[in-house]
């Protein structure tokens, strides 16, 4: 049975982190904010105020991402707020998909390509980690070829 794209992404994480520890949580949060920063790096504005706010957000996200990736036992979900946190995370998936749609991008096929690339990080089905417990690229890793999906056809 073919798995949907989001299920494939989740499967990758289950294989990479079958029993996530506190350090894995912090590293993943840091990586998540790092990716938001990378998105901001690709944006520009003719409005000086917007450009300044993008720069400030980029700088703060860089610091936060690095702090989280290097630390442990710093961040947790507020007591009784797991459902609200889950809602916010689901909304990020929805709004991220919406942003790609608004810019005329093919998010579904792009995610399939990213999943293939992520699975190529494993070596003989095994996961390799760096000192922050972030998955590193194995010898068979290939970068996702996203150019065909940057403009919907």
pLDDT of 131 reads 83
Can you give the pLDDT at residue 2? Answer: 64
Q: Rounded distance, CA 138 to CA 121, Å?
A: 5
Q: Are 141 and 123 in contact (CB under 8 A)?
A: no
pTM of the model: 0.88
Which contiguous run of DSSP H or E holds residue 92?
A: helix 82-102
Per run of 10 residues, the mean pLDDT along the chain (length 153 residues) is: 85 93 92 96 97 97 94 90 97 96 95 95 89 86 96 71
Residues near 49 by beta carbon (within 8 Å), at least 6 away in sequence: none
Q: How far apart are CA 74 and CA 25, in angstroms?
A: 10
Q: Rg for the chain (alpha carbons), in Å?
A: 17
């Amino acid at each position: 049975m073919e798995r949907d794209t989001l299920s494939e992404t989740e499967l990758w994480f289950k294989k990479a982190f079958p029993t996530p520890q506190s350090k894995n949580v912090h590293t993943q949060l840091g990586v998540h904010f790092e990716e938001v920063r990378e998105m901001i790096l690709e944006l520009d504005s003719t409005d000086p105020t917007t450009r300044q706010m993008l720069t400030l957000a980029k700088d703060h996200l860089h610091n936060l991402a690095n702090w989280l990736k290097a630390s442990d036992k710093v961040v947790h979900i507020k007591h009784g707020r797991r459902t609200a946190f889950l809602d916010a995370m689901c909304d990020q998936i929805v709004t991220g998909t919406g942003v790609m749609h608004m810019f005329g991008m093919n998010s579904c096929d792009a995610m399939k390509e990213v999943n293939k690339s992520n699975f190529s990080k494993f070596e003989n089905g095994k996961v390799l980690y760096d000192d922050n417990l972030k998955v590193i690229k194995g010898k068979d890793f290939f970068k996702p070829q996203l150019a065909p999906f940057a403009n919907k056809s």
